[in-house]
Amino acid sequence: ANELSKGQHIEIDGRLDDEAWQEVSFSTDTWQDIAQPLFPNFSLPQQYATKFKARWDQEYFYVGVNIGEPFVTGVVTGHNPTLSSPSPVPNSFIPYYDNDFEVFVDVSGTNHYYKEFEMNFQNATYDVFWRVPDG
C-alpha cells in the first residue's frame, strides 16, 4: 500500500478517478478466490480478474478495486446488525452469499486477530474481528 501525500484526499464514491488513485498502479499479484479449492477444474478467464490498489493515511486504509466479473448479482442490503435478504436460504443475510468483495487485514500474518470486511454492489457491508481462524 502506498501512503497518501500530505494534503491528498480520496473521495469515497466508488470511482478510481481521483489523483490519489491515478498515481498508483493496480497490483500485479495474482489473487485467488478463497473458494477455488472447492472447484479444482474451474479456471476464471483472465478478463474477469479482480485488480486492486491500496493507499493509506494516518486515519484510514483505502482499497480501490476493479472487478472484472460481468455477471454480478446481489440481494443483501444493510450493515452488520441490519443486514437483510429476501432469500429463503438460512443465514443468507451476509454479503458472502452474493457476489461480494472481501478484504482481510492480518497485520501479524498469523490468522489470529484479523479483520474481515465484506461488501457487495448493493452497498451491503459486513465487518468482523476474528480472534482465531474462521472454520
Write the pLDDT tens digit of every residue in 23-71: 999 987 766 666 778 888 887 788 888 889 999 999 999 999 988 888 8
Domain ranges of the chain: 1-71, 76-135
Cα–Cα distance measured from residue 24 to residue 2, given in angstroms and rounded to the nearest whole number: 8
CB distance 32 to 44 below 8 Å? no
Among the listed residues 31, 104, 94, the one whose alpha carbon sits nearest the alpha carbon of residue 66: 31
Please write the tens of the pLDDT for every residue from 16-26: 999 999 999 99
